[in-house]
């Protein structure tokens, strides 16, 4: 499983301009069953995505390279891979 973290590289105003396109982009990844969860960090300096098990780091890197936050230069992603030892039952349905 992978956690992708986006860090903002621009002012909050510049990030806000890209937010609607970013969220629309993420909606397509939810529709494609790539993501399990997403949201902004409470610190306000970026966001977090939880990627569905079975998606490789290379696959998510390629997909997120098209995120409007990335293509506009207001954000960049880092990735943490981990082996799932336990998973909530509701996350294993239709998996």
| Domain residue ranges in the chain | 2-84
Is pTM beyond 0.85 here?
yes
Helix (H) or strand (E) holding 93: none
E strands, 11-90, in order? 35-40, 46-51, 75-81
Give the position of tokens 């349905």: 93
Separation CA 4–CA 78 (nearest Å): 6
Please tell me the distance from the alpha carbon of residue 63 to that of residue 34, in angstroms, as a whole number. Answer: 10
Helix (H) or strand (E) holding 2, with range, is strand 2-8
Query: In a structure prediction context, what are the per-residue pLDDT tens digits for the chain, which is 95 residues long?
Result: 999 999 999 999 999 999 999 999 999 999 999 999 999 999 999 999 999 999 999 999 999 999 999 999 999 999 999 998 998 888 766 54
Matching CATH number, 2-84, of 1.10.150.120, 3.30.420.40, 3.90.105.10, 3.30.70.1060: 3.30.70.1060
What is the Cα–Cα distance from 35 to 4, expressed in whole angstroms? 10
């Amino acid at each position: 499983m992978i956690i992708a973290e986006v860090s903002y590289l621009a002012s909050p105003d510049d990030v806000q301009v890209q937010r609607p396109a970013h969220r629309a982009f993420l909606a397509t990844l939810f529709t494609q069953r790539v993501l399990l969860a997403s949201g902004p960090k409470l610190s306000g300096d970026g966001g977090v995505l939880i990627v569905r098990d079975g998606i490789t780091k290379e696959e998510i890197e390629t997909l997120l390279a098209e995120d409007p936050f990335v293509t506009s230069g207001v954000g960049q992603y880092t990735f943490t891979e981990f082996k799932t030892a336990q998973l909530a039952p509701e996350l294993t349905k239709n998996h």
